[in-house]
Chain A
Amino acid sequence: MQRQRADAQPAFVLHTTPFRETSLIVEAFTRDFGRIALLARGARRPRSAIRGLLMAFQPLELGWAGKGEVLTLMKAEWQGGQPLLTGQALFCGYYLNELLLHLLPREDAHERLFERYREILARLGADPTGKVREADLRCFEKALLQELGYGLTLDHDNAGRAITATAHYHYRMEQGPVLLSHAGEAEGAVLGRTLLDLGAEDFSEPRTLAEAKQLMRSLMAYYLSGKELETRKIFKELQEL
Chain B
Amino acid sequence: MSTPTSLEALIEALRCLPGVGPKSAQRMAYHLLQHDRSGAARLGEAVGRALQALQHCQRCNNFAESEICERCASPRRDPTVLCVVESPVDMNMMEQTHAFQGLYYVLMGRISPLDGCGPRELGLERLLARAQDGVVKEVVLATNFTNEGEATAHYITALLKPSGVSVTRIARGVPVGGELEYVDSGTLAQALRERRVCQT
Complex CA distance for A130 and B114, rounded to whole angstroms: 20
Is the CB of A234 closer than 8 A to any CB of chain B?
A: yes
What is the size category of the interface that chain B forms with chain A?
20 to 34
Flag if A238 contacts B114 (CB, 8 Å): no
- Using Cβ atoms and an 8 Å threshold, which residues of chain A touch B21? 20-21
Specify which chain A residues have a CB less than 8 angstroms from the CB of B187 in the assembled complex: 52
* Contact A52/B186 with A85-B150, A238-B158, A241-B159 known, Cβ cut-off 8 Å: yes
Q: Is B195 an interface residue (CB 8 A)?
A: no
Contact of A84 with B113 in the complex, beta carbons under 8 Å:
no
B173 at the interface (CB under 8 A from A): no
Say if the beta carbon of B178 comes within 8 Å of chain A.
no
Interface string of A72-99 (1 = CB under 8 A from B): 0000001010011111101101100110
List of A residues within 8 angstroms of B150 by Cβ: 84-86, 90
B187 to chain A, nearest CB (A): 8
A237 touches B154 (CB 8 A): no
In the bound complex, CA of A21 to CA of B111 (Å): 22
Judge if B75 is at the interface, Cβ distance under 8 Å.
Answer: no
CB contacts under 8 Å to B, within A195-241, are 230-231, 233-234, 237-238, 241
Whether, in the assembled complex, B18 has its beta carbon less than 8 Å from a beta carbon of chain A, the answer is: yes
A53 at the interface (CB under 8 A from B): yes
Within 8 A of A (CB), among B113-144: 113-116, 118-120
Whole-angstrom distance between the alpha carbons of A101 and B114 in the complex?
A: 9
Q: Within 8 Å CB of A90, what residues of B?
A: 147, 150-151, 154
Partner of B116, one of A78, A87, A230: A230
Contact of B113 among A78, A98, A130 (CB under 8 A): A98
CA distance in complex: A181, B85 (Å):
58
Q: Is A35 an interface residue, CB under 8 A from the partner?
A: no
Q: Which of A54-62, A139-147, A151-159, A170-178 contacts B (4 or more CB under 8 A)?
A: A54-62
With contacts A15-B114, A56-B147, A101-B114 taken as known, whether A237 is within 8 angstroms of B119 at the C-beta atoms is yes
Interface size of A by CB at 8 A reads 34
Q: Is B185 an interface residue (CB 8 A)?
A: yes
Q: Is B190 an interface residue (CB 8 A)?
A: yes
**Does A4 touch B at the CB level, under 8 Å?**
no
> Can you name the residue of chain A whose Cβ is closest to the Cβ of B119?
A237
A97 touches B186 (CB 8 A): no
Chain A facing B: main interface SS: mixed
- Contact between chains at A57 and B147 (CB < 8 Å): yes
Residue of B nearest to A23 (CB): B19
What 0/1 readout, one digit per residue, does chain B (27-47) give for beta carbons within 8 Å of chain A? 000000000000000000000
Cα–Cα distance between A237 and B154 once the two chains are bound (Å): 13
Question: CA separation between A135 and B113, bound complex, in Å?
Answer: 22
- A11 to B115 alpha-carbon distance, docked (Å): 21
Contact B154 A80 (CB under 8 A): no
Interface: B181 (CB within 8 A): no
Interface pair B118/A230, CB less than 8 Å apart: yes
B168 to chain A, nearest CB (A): 15
Q: A21-B18, A83-B193, A85-B150 are in contact. Are A237 and B120 (CB under 8 A)?
A: yes
- Distance, CA A231 to CA B116, complexed state (A): 9
Most A CB within 10 A of own CB, among B18, B113, B158, B159: B113
Chain A CB count within 10 A is highest, among B19, B150, B151, for: B151
Which residue of chain A has its CB nearest to the CB of B146? A55
Q: How distant is A170 from chain B, measured CB to nearest CB, in Å?
A: 32
Residues in chain A within 8 A of chain B (CB atoms): 15, 17, 20-22, 52-53, 55-58, 78, 80, 83-88, 90-91, 93-94, 97-98, 101, 130, 230-231, 233-234, 237-238, 241
7 examples of A-B residue contacts, CB within 8 angstroms: A20-B19, A21-B18, A52-B184, A86-B150, A94-B151, A101-B114, A241-B158
Q: A90-B151, A94-B113 are in contact. List 20 more A-B contacts (CB 8 A).
A: A53-B184, A53-B186, A55-B186, A78-B186, A80-B185, A80-B189, A83-B190, A84-B150, A88-B154, A90-B150, A90-B154, A91-B151, A94-B114, A98-B114, A130-B154, A230-B114, A230-B118, A234-B113, A234-B119, A234-B155
